[in-house]
Amino acid sequence: MAERWILHVDMDAFYASVEQRDRPELRGKPVVVGGDPRSRGVVSTASYEARAFGIHSAMPLAQARRLCPQAVFLPVDMGRYRRVSNQLEAILLRFTPLVERLALDEAYLDVTGSQRLFGSPADIARAIKQAIRQELSLTASVGVAPNKLLAKVASDLHKPDGLVVVEPGQAEAFLAPLPVGRLWGIGKVTARRLAAVGVQTVSDLQSWPLSRLQREFGVRQGEELWRAARGLDSRPVETTDRVKSIGREETFASDIRDCRELYAVWRAQSDDVARRLRRAGCLASVVTIKLRDSAFHTITRQCTLPHPTDVGREICRTAQALFEQSGWQGRPLRLIGVSAEGLRPADAGRGDDSRAGEPRQLSLFAAAGSAAGGDSAAAPRWRKVEEAVARLQERMGPGVVVPASEWGQEASRKRREFRERIYRF
């Protein structure tokens, strides 16, 4: 059986590089993509010139400006980045049909069966980099390895414009000197726990037997750490382009602690998520909320729905119930969001399907009118209402129809402004 070969292609500072390519006057200058530094937004991407000042993704824009006052701050132009990303995908598909897009700027490729046409995996990586440079005037870093984990780590080592090949049998030696945070699945929290027990590098982690890792971190996570330290990864490249989640979040101009205003924002976010679910032909079985306070502490809460849905009213009820159970102590919030996950095709059947003669699973909470469940029998009616409202809003603007609970008070005017900002996408 042929050795499997995986490439991880990662564009270098993608958004900022596209801006510098299309605006020659920005080349060689620190560029920060994310918006107005006077706003409360965060950095989406920073050019390498900006990164030299310590600016990185997810940093508050105001902090980025303090680090580099001379930086050029630009808004996110997602439409343009998507067009370039589609051009990138067309290049990758020339070399193999086995392409798994992770984001607009990165993808995995399985090139095991491409070697007779295009040469060795390293040759294929060089050809891809050359095509990206010639056709898109951009650079990419590529990791070449027998599996996804190693390819991902390799692509990040020599950025920008890097190419790193990990040969079969060299996984442990390749990983050993790296910080444990380089490994897939090890975030900041796990890295801190490892550091507390003296594990700083992958070599340190490799010295721990499986039994000790499982005692310290639990059976499942202990095994995952043991495998990651040895570069073991059997995940295939998944070519399906199925959407895995649909979400919406909002960073406020000023912190909010009024529950009524928060609920109004969630209502608008939930309607937006539901509309996009219907457009994608998907139903959601899981709802997740995200809260971030003024100190940047983030809380997420998740709930599995009693039946899959694409109705905003049900998503909103669940989001509000999760919020009430989140332990929030009234601290001002700078960001809230809601996302629909556990997606499945709508034609696979809805729990609220009321077609005559077919069985229908009722909500466990229908009789009580639970916020987390709602009345599934009413879902088809609400779906029709939401679809009609969406059509009106597309024709006449987002403020043409609002819930009665949001009408007629000064606070409601503010909530409608939040609503309108959320609908602009």
Whole-angstrom Cα distance, residue 391 to residue 394? 5
For the chain, give every domain's residue range: 1-168, 172-229, 245-423
Strand partners, 100: 108
Model confidence at 243: pLDDT above 90? no
Q: Average pLDDT of 183-194?
A: 86
Phi, psi values for residue 338, rounded to 5°: -140, 140
Q: What type of residue is 125? A: A
Whole-angstrom Cα distance, residue 15 to residue 36? 16
Q: What type of residue is 384? A: K
CATH topology of domain 172-229: DNA polymerase; domain 1 (1.10.150)
User: Of 132 and 404, which is predicted with more confidence?
Assistant: 132
Q: Average pLDDT of 50-70?
A: 95
Q: Are strands 344-345 and 282-293 parallel, antiparallel or unpaired?
A: antiparallel
Active-site positions read 106
Whole-angstrom Cα distance, residue 406 to residue 121? 59
Phi, psi values for residue 307, rounded to 5°: -150, 145
Whole-angstrom Cα distance, residue 14 to residue 84? 10
How many angstroms separate the Cα of 161 from the Cα of each of 13, 47, 48, 155?
Answer: 11, 13, 12, 9
Whole-angstrom Cα distance, residue 52 to residue 163? 21
Give residue 325's pLDDT band: very low, low, confident or very high (50, 70, 90): confident
Give residue 1's pLDDT band: very low, low, confident or very high (50, 70, 90): low
* Residue 33 near residue 74 (C-beta atoms within 8 A): yes
| pLDDT tens profile 72-93 | 999 999 899 999 999 999 999 9
Domain 172-229 in the same topology as domain 1-168: no
Q: For residue 418, which of 289, 221, 272 has the smallest C-alpha distance? A: 272
Give residue 30's pLDDT band: very low, low, confident or very high (50, 70, 90): very high
Query: What is residue 411's predicted lDDT score, i.e. its pLDDT?
Result: 47
- Go through the chain and tell me how many residues it has: 425
Q: How many CA atoms lie within 13 A of 335 on its CB side?
A: 20
Q: What type of residue is 58? A: A
The DSSP 8-state label assigned to residue 169 in this structure reads: T
Q: Which one of 3.40.640.10, 3.30.70.270, 3.40.50.720, 3.40.50.150 gives the CATH number of domain 1-168?
A: 3.30.70.270
* Residue 363 near residue 340 (C-beta atoms within 8 A): no
Q: Average pLDDT of 220-233?
A: 94
Phi, psi values for residue 271, rounded to 5°: -60, -40
Model confidence at 143: pLDDT above 80? yes
The chain-wide mean pLDDT, for the chain, equals 84
| pTM confidence score | 0.67
Q: Choose the weakest-confidence range: 12-21, 76-85, 122-131.
A: 76-85
User: Of 391 and 361, which is predicted with more confidence?
Assistant: 391
Which class is 245-423 in CATH? alpha beta
Whole-angstrom Cα distance, residue 360 to residue 312? 20
